[in-house]
Chain A
Amino acid sequence: MSMNTYALTDSWTMTRRELAHWARQPVQVVVGLIFPVMLLLMFGYLVGGGRGVEGSYIDYLLPGMLALTMAFGLEATMIAVTQDLNKGVVDRFRSMPMTNGAVLVGRSVADMLQSAIVLIVLMGVGLALGWRAEGGPGAVLGALGLLLLFRFAMLWIGIHLALVAGKPELVQAVQILIWPVGFLSNALALSESMPGWLGTIVDWNPMSHTATAVRDLFAGGGTEHLAAAVIWPLVLLGVFFPLAVRRFARLSR
């Protein structure tokens, strides 16, 4: 029997492990869903009204919040991987005749599933707040696809950072840094409303492309950001996926 015969069963076992964690900690799961909803309400009502936005702010804000939530997922992935590595359970996995990559596959499947659920919850709340997708079901599915693709890129950056840093202290640094990086985007306000240099950074932020492309799809409008919203995550994946896989294989060095 080769190792590959078991790649699928091992990945499924590791995914089941993550789902069992959810069942064990329902509160944590719910908090994970409530937090982005809270952010949405906070920016929608407390802070209110993005600079330079014409029309309904919720139509502008919701796609931004969806993208921002996907970006924050990087942190969740990094925490989970760091905890695993520091608890020694990964040592047991690595000393077993299992497909080693299954550990990462389980993480990916669980995180992607969680993200899909968060997106649906946020859109549900958005609907209640008056957000409407004019683009139709196909466009909404396309938008979800772009958001999950972006999340998938964040996921592998998170895994890579956890493998490189490996320590809870550095998770904290990333937790803090993710905020300015997340907000240096057009998630909440138009880049045109910002000082020139800031606007340039914001326009470059891959998250801005995803947010704009999702806005356009929901509105049933322009497609000029679509390509960037697909290519940026693929570029990030092209860099970080092999790096993370190599790092994981080199845990034995």
Chain B
Amino acid sequence: MADAAITVEGARKRYGGKAGKDALDGLDLTVARGTVHGMLGPNGAGKTTLVRVLSTLLRPDGGRVRVAGYDVVREAYEVRLRIGLLGQHAALDEELGGHQNLEMFGRLYHLGARRARVRAGELLERFGLADAGRKPVKQYSGGMRRRLDLAASLITDPEVLFLDEPTTGLDPRGRAEVWSAVRSLVGGGTTVLLTTQYLEEADQLAHRISVVDAGRVIADGTADELKALTGGARIDIVLRDAGQLGAAVALLPVPKESVSVDPDRRLLSAPVTDRMAALSGVVRALEASGIEAEDVALRRPTLDEVFLHLTGDENRVKEPA
């Protein structure tokens, strides 16, 4: 694919020898230039391993991996010229100041001393860190650190940017900061590969999403396409009286097992096929049986529901994020 910024064909990586674990188990992936691609999956799905392979930190055991047109193993240097990496943990020198960090990285990108200094100033300004430029990074807040880390990965305006769980461990404000920074990059033509455990994050930022589980991509598409995978629409009904939930379930035109009931919120939720017929049928049936509803609504499934549906494992996704 000529316009692909990232192509991965059958990538394999095993940790710990023969008895070890396959972190990547024949993973395939294509990311078009200038798009944001989300890699969504639980802890241990292989997302970080993939980012480390793509950013030349880790050599794959097998498969073909190309980034910005170059092979990550044989042409690692060419790849490194064209990528930026924001890892899970801040890749910064904690003892040095923000400006010192960016200047050092700029010199290592061979901008030259003067250009490195100017670029450091520009980036601090752009990420709202100009006032903190002299403070050592260890005194930065989590959000500031993340922004400086992001600034460091943008020193040379990379063609491809890898963001490995960029908002894990940040408070909502820090998360919003990082999101808006990522959004502002997309306009500039950068290709972004983003891993996340947060479905909302993938939904918000990514043009396309790959769902990863056990080292393989198990589904791939836009958020809408993925949501359609679970069978389209759902109907949500909120009753006035929780005591009538049982009676209401019996009225629904779907098998009982597919209805989820949340007594605390007096909520029934069920997948439906014919949206309009289901809606009018439910409203009429409720009226006829005298069950009072506060709200009846049709909606698309959430990515959470898609994820559960695809992995078939409820427990893992329920882990606190």
Contact = CB atoms under 8 A, between A and B. Distances in A.
Does B associate with A? yes
A95 B85 contact: yes
A91 B87 contact: yes
A252 B87 CA distance: 15
Interface in A89-142: 89, 91-98, 102
Interface in B57-75: 57-59
Interface string A242-253: 000000000111
A87 to B, nearest CB: 6
Interface in A6-38: 6, 9-10, 13, 16-17, 20-21, 24-25
Contacts of B59: 252-253
Given A21-B95, A92-B92, A95-B55, A16 B85 contact: no
A93 B91 CA distance: 9
Contacts of A180: none
A6 B107 CA distance: 10
B80 A96 contact: yes
B91 A88 contact: yes
B307 to A, nearest CB: 28
B284 interface: no
B95 A88 contact: no
Chain B's interface size range is 20 to 34
B107 A20 contact: no
Interface string A182-224: 0000000000000000000000000000000000000000000
B109 to A, nearest CB: 6
Contacts of B89: 87-88
Question: Do most interface residues of chain A lie in helix, strand or loop, or is the interface mixed?
Answer: helix
B130 interface: no
A98 B57 CA distance: 13
A13 B108 CA distance: 7
Interface string B78-117: 0011010101011111111000100011011110000000
B82 to A, nearest CB: 9
A20 B110 CA distance: 19
A8 to B, nearest CB: 12
B56 A252 contact: yes
Contacts of A88: 87, 89-92
Given A6-B110, A9-B107, A95 B90 contact: no
Nearest to A253: B59
B105 A24 contact: no
B90 A3 contact: no
Contacts of A93: 108
A6 B80 CA distance: 15
A236 B170 CA distance: 46
Contacts of A9: 107, 110
A138 B130 CA distance: 52
A9 B89 CA distance: 27
B152 interface: yes
A31 to B, nearest CB: 15
Given A97-B109, A252-B59, A89 B92 contact: yes
Contacts of B83: 95
A98 B108 CA distance: 6
A20 B108 contact: no
Contacts of B57: 91, 94-95, 251-252
A24 B96 contact: yes
Contacts of B91: 87-89, 91-92
Contacts of A97: 77, 80-81, 109-110
A3 B77 contact: yes
Nearest to B59: A252
Contact of A95 (B80, B95, B96, B110): B80
A111 to B, nearest CB: 16
B95 A92 contact: no
Contacts of B95: 20-21, 24-25
Interface string B144-159: 0000000011000000
Interface string B246-275: 000000000000000000000000000000
B26 interface: no
A21 B93 CA distance: 10
A95 B56 CA distance: 6
A25 B109 CA distance: 26
B136 interface: yes
A43 to B, nearest CB: 33
Contacts of A25: 95
Contacts of A252: 56-59
A97 B110 CA distance: 9
12 contacts: A20-B95, A21-B96, A87-B89, A88-B89, A89-B92, A91-B91, A92-B152, A96-B80, A98-B110, A251-B57, A253-B58, A253-B59
Going nearest first, the 8 A-B pairs with the smallest beta carbon separation are A92-B91, A97-B80, A88-B89, A98-B108, A88-B91, A13-B107, A95-B85, A97-B81
Interface of B: 55-59, 77, 80-81, 83, 85, 87, 89-96, 100, 104-105, 107-110, 136, 152-153
Given A13-B104, A95-B55, A97-B77, 20 more contacts: A6-B110, A9-B107, A9-B110, A17-B93, A24-B95, A25-B95, A87-B92, A89-B91, A89-B93, A91-B85, A91-B87, A92-B92, A92-B105, A93-B108, A95-B80, A95-B85, A96-B109, A98-B108, A251-B57, A252-B56
